[in-house]
Amino acid sequence: MPIAVFANKTFQVNSQKIYTFDDLTMNSSLETEKQDAANKKPSTYIKGPDLYTMSFSIPLDVSMGVNVRNEYGAWKALVEAGKPYPFILGGIPLGANKWLLKSASLNNTVIDSNGNILSGTIQLEFEEYVRPGSAQASKSTKKTSTSYAPGISLPKVSGNINLLGSSDKADIKRSNPNMLSRLPE
């Protein structure tokens, strides 16, 4: 079973290849604005939740069955395509929305005397993708909430979320045919 899947990339460990990620960082924040008042402290206006962000690094080495230059090129192409995809972790979509890959950088490279990249680390940064127009629609829709702590309630998320469109399913099926059988319909 794959560890995770994003677009046509599958994170997994097998006898031919080790392709995993490290340092997964996820961030959520609240969008606020200060509103000035004469001779008083400014008040805080809460606009609402900001988009979630996520980042992680992928250690790559030719000895692990990975071509570092090609892998970086493939991630760079995903950045330039500007298309959001679900991030599937442990067979479950991470979050209620798709993720947009915003940047990919290659660092800590080791290059041999022939110019081959023997190892390196790819650093990826993602941002939650909410399609245009859906933020306004979600404000007017009443949501059911589940309370997790006093005074804090979060939207109830159905276990049957389907974030995959037909093109997403086709991409995943090409890269990992067994993954679709584990995803909700």
Alpha-carbon gap, residue 165 to 185, rounded angstroms: 11
pLDDT of residue 132: 85
Please give the helix or strand (H or E) that residue 175 lies within, else none. helix 166-175
Looking at the whole model, is its pTM more than 0.85?
A: no
More confident: 142 or 7: 7
Residue 177 has pLDDT above 90, yes or no: no
Question: Where do we find the tokens 């230059």?
Answer: 69
Query: CATH second-level architecture of 4-131?
Result: Beta Barrel (2.40)
Residue 184: is its pLDDT beyond 90? no
With cut-offs at 50, 70 and 90, classify the pLDDT of residue 10: very high
Question: pLDDT tens digit string along 127-172?
Answer: 999 988 765 545 544 444 443 344 444 444 444 445 566 666 666 5
Return the structure tokens found at 164: 């995959």
Integer-rounded Cα radius of gyration of the chain = 20
For residue 17, the model assigns a pLDDT of: 87
**Amino acid found at 110:** V
What DSSP string describes 76-143? HHHHHHT--B-EEETTEESSSSEEEEEEEEEEEEEE-TTS-EEEEEEEEEEEEE--TTHHHHHHHS--
To the nearest 10°, the Cα dihedral for 52, 129, 3, 5?
-170
